[in-house]
Chain A
Amino acid sequence: MTRALSSSLSGLRQLFPPDRILTTPARMAVYGSDALAALNQLPGAVVIPETATEVVETVRFCHRNGIPFVARGSGTSLSGGSLPVAEGVVIALNRLNHILRLDPDERIAVVEPGVVNLAVSRAAEPFGLYYAPDPSSQAVCTIGGNVAFNSGGAHCLKYGMTGNHVLGMELLLPDGTVTEVGGDSRDSVGPDLNGFFVGSEGLFGIALKTTLRLLPIPALYRTILGAYDSLEAAGDAVTAVIASGLLPGAMEIMDRLAIKAAEVGARAGYPLNAAALLIVELEGEARTVEADFTRLVEVIRTSGAREIRVANNADERARIWKGRKSAFSAVGRLSPDYIVQDGVVPRGRLGEALVGIERLSRIHGLEVANVFHAGDGNLHPLILYDGRVPGGLERAEELAGEIIALCVELGGSITGEHGVGIEKLAHMPKMFGPAELACMEQLRAAVDPERIANRGKMLPGGLS
């Protein structure tokens, strides 16, 4: 630890009792990495505030002393978004986990950053309401992280990502300024500052309070699963569903390897001999959903599915989703290590993208399992590798980079919902030109001149 940090630590110690400021490697170990487990970095200190005031004081302390800080929730970032900065402070926000207000008539919940995603829906359920964004990690990931990374989930096509559900925030800017944006209304005047802050990956500071919009729980879900002999056939089925004019809440595809993983990990009971599975779900008013579902079943039936399963009740629906939602962790049983990629391609080019990924997988000699949000073209290739083999991680990263480049070539994006973090820093220039990168850097510098908030994430360089 440098003298600068160690001398200022005494100041930080005045803000927290000993059990809520961690400075030894042993006690900080768990904060050294997030869900991008391949990267590890111990910070200078970890603080565990219990109130918003403590968070504000910590950030002001960091700003006065020029110390970088990283705000962190449950550490589920797949892009290394909450990787600590050496000599910096990690602000662990998990204890700010209160739902401050839940107003069923206004259909809003005001929450602290450490509130777990699923806890919002649980609290809203008695009122017939829920919080729509449903990242796979929703049982542990926090709203603060969802806001920072504009988290998505399986139901984005129809209802959008986190940014579409944030109505207002109390922001703590990196210099310690506290300011409010938005409000309780679903409408607003002036620039959409909520939308601009969401997804800024912690570079603009911390959302101390977030007002979320809640939706009525749909009256009816109807879910269908189709098994196909090729990924291409499953992709064509998605195109057919879109062409039919239906608007499903979710459309997910899993390939052979992902199906196998889900079976091993979650015993999902999926058809094992299929090359691809397509899950399509409709939700809404009962009468509409039933009518639409009849059409959907017809579309899937004529799409060349070798087997069709229809969920006839909540249990059967849960079983279909269980395999899909546990696919990431299940892949862990097939391989010692894996990298999850998050590129997006136009829906119509999904087929090309999958063929390309298969080719790259062969060239690099690494297995790739595919699980993806087909409705919005968001791929999740899981690159399987063995980190114990020398050069294993590097080879996997190289493949990941080529998959990302492919997505950009096809007119898509380097990330759909996991964010740039530290993992995709090098790929930002593939996506944006010098003018855009300079513009983003200028915005960042105007909000945080000392660049102390989540330094080293999202933006690849200094001012160009």
Chain B
Amino acid sequence: MTRVPIRDVQDVQEAVQTHPRLLSVGGGSKPALSSPLISPSGSSPDDTPVTLLDVSALRGVVEYDPGEFTFTAGAATPVAEISAMLAERNQYLPFDPPFAARGATLGGTVATGLAGSMQYRFGGVRDFLIGARFVDGRGQLIRGGGKVVKNAAGFDLPRLMVGSLGRLGILTEVTFKVFPAPAATATVYAEFPSLELALEALIRLTRSRFDLEALDLVPGSLMISEGSISEEEPRTQEGSVPGESRTEGRPASGATLLARIGGVADGLPARQRQVAEFLTGGNQSGASAPPVSVSPVLVSTSGTPDHDVTHWAAMAEMNWCPEGWSLYRVPVTPARVAALDRSWSAEGAIRRYTSGAQTAWVAWPGEESQLNRLLRAAGLGALRVDGPPSRQPWIGTIPGGPFLERITSALDPDNRFDLPGIWPRADVSHG
């Protein structure tokens, strides 16, 4: 397989016009997605040789005006670089892009559509991407969206790029909306005797009037004790299952809710107490939802600010997923989590439910076919985010349908970005 480094956007356009099949690679932080799409022989299934387009030269901030709440940067700009730049002006990317420490880029984040726990507050990648330049399958440079936060002119091409895995075009430049960052953050931990009870409390919290930055659900127990909360080991040895380690005498089937709040530092302790009281069925102030019927066995608001930061930063790197396991991201809803969790847990998977149990992260130890079967039975699809190379990025119900097929045929008529397992190529000709 050929690896072609490009210097600028013109190079990308030229490459698209001269190579029959291409895959663009930026930071290489998600090899499960940037390598598996190609067979070991370096060809696509129809034996067309695949060219790896190394776009890492397309980096750097083009424009950042804190007063506009926007910035524009090359697609291969590392997320970490952007976060540092924004932090200097007390701003942030509210959708919490994962894998920044590994070198994830803005373009890769858009192409995979990945967002972290903090998307609970204001939404995911699609809610903050306002402009995108990309090279389509004809080699045309297309400028979608704009640099203003509100724009309704023409088709929303940037949105189409979110989660497209390079199948619809090669991103060269992106423009994001950003927000002022919360001045300080804190977390409330609540451990419940069962996942079902934790889910019930989670649903009440999502209906309440608390402004939470994040709301995660971790099956099993974090080791909470007065004054300190010790995390599970980030990487475990063979045999022990991270996230399921528990303190003496706690029920094995328990689950822990993590609710993060943010704002002026002075107000945080009182707000933490309000959330805790809501969970224990005490003071219902600030709540519009019905009270929680079963109290958690243990609530802790005593984690230090440092602890809060460390926990959520580790969460964004998915450090809880054991080395060598495959990690999948599955869109879910709270009502479905209990049944799904039982079936995944029975197979030895490790699970995390983020953004109010709208996203399931599943670390899978065994054969992918088994998870594929379970997902199909549930009518769900999953993106394989991390792990050893495999043949396809998606399992379960693969996104597609006639609307996407037609869009694909328009943006990539010669199937230059058609790599195995992406989605069915559009053979139908229209018009």
Chain A interface residues (CB < 8 Å from chain B)? 103-107, 127-129, 149-150, 152, 156-161, 163-164, 171, 173, 177, 179-181, 183-200, 204, 216-219, 239, 242-243, 245-247, 284-288, 291-292, 342, 344-348, 373, 376-378, 411-420, 424, 428, 431-433, 435-436, 438-440, 442-447, 449, 458
Chain B contacts of A163 at CB under 8 A?
A: 156, 159
Tell me whether A377 and B149 are in contact (CB under 8 A). Answer: yes
B338 to chain A, nearest CB (A): 12
B163 contact from A160, A161, A188, Cβ within 8 A:
A188
Known pairs A192-B163, A288-B264, A347-B67 / 11 extra A-B pairs, C-beta < 8 Å: A104-B207, A105-B207, A129-B207, A160-B123, A190-B423, A196-B407, A216-B207, A285-B209, A288-B263, A344-B146, A413-B148
B235 to chain A, nearest CB (A): 26
Tell me whether A189 and B149 are in contact (CB under 8 A). Answer: no
Tell me whether A187 and B148 are in contact (CB under 8 A). Answer: no
A106 contact from B123, B143, B335, Cβ within 8 A:
B335
- Provide the B123-158 mask, 1 if CB < 8 A to any CB of A, else 0: 110110000000010001111101111111111110
CA of A458 to CA of B155 in the docked complex: distance in angstroms? Answer: 9
Tier of interface size on chain B: 35 or more
- Provide the B325-339 mask, 1 if CB < 8 A to any CB of A, else 0: 000011111110000
Residue among A173, A287, A373 having the largest count of chain B Cβ atoms under 10 Å:
A287
Stretch at the interface among B35-43, B222-230, B291-299, B395-403: B395-403
- Provide the B160-183 mask, 1 if CB < 8 A to any CB of A, else 0: 111110011000000000011001
B286 contact from A285, A416, A431, Cβ within 8 A:
A285
CA of A288 to CA of B333 in the docked complex: distance in angstroms? Answer: 28
Q: A287-B267, A440-B155 are in contact. Are A191 and B150 (CB under 8 A)?
A: no
Chain A contacts of B122 at CB under 8 A?
A: 158-159
Chain B contacts of A204 at CB under 8 A?
A: 403
Chain B interface residues (CB < 8 Å from chain A)? 65, 67-70, 90, 113, 115, 119, 122-124, 126-127, 136, 140-144, 146-157, 159-164, 167-168, 179-180, 183, 203, 206-211, 263-264, 266-267, 270-271, 274, 285-286, 288-289, 329-335, 355-356, 358-359, 381-383, 394, 398-404, 406-407, 409-411, 423, 430-431
B195 to chain A, nearest CB (A): 16
Would you list 15 pairs from A and B whose C-beta atoms are within 8 A, ordered by A residue?
A105-B335, A177-B402, A185-B358, A188-B399, A189-B383, A191-B404, A196-B157, A216-B209, A347-B68, A376-B148, A377-B149, A435-B140, A439-B140, A440-B155, A443-B155
Q: A164-B127, A216-B209 are in contact. Are A105 and B334 (CB under 8 A)?
A: yes
Tell me whether A443 and B150 are in contact (CB under 8 A). Answer: no
CA of A129 to CA of B206 in the docked complex: distance in angstroms? Answer: 10
Chain A contacts of B358 at CB under 8 A?
A: 185-187
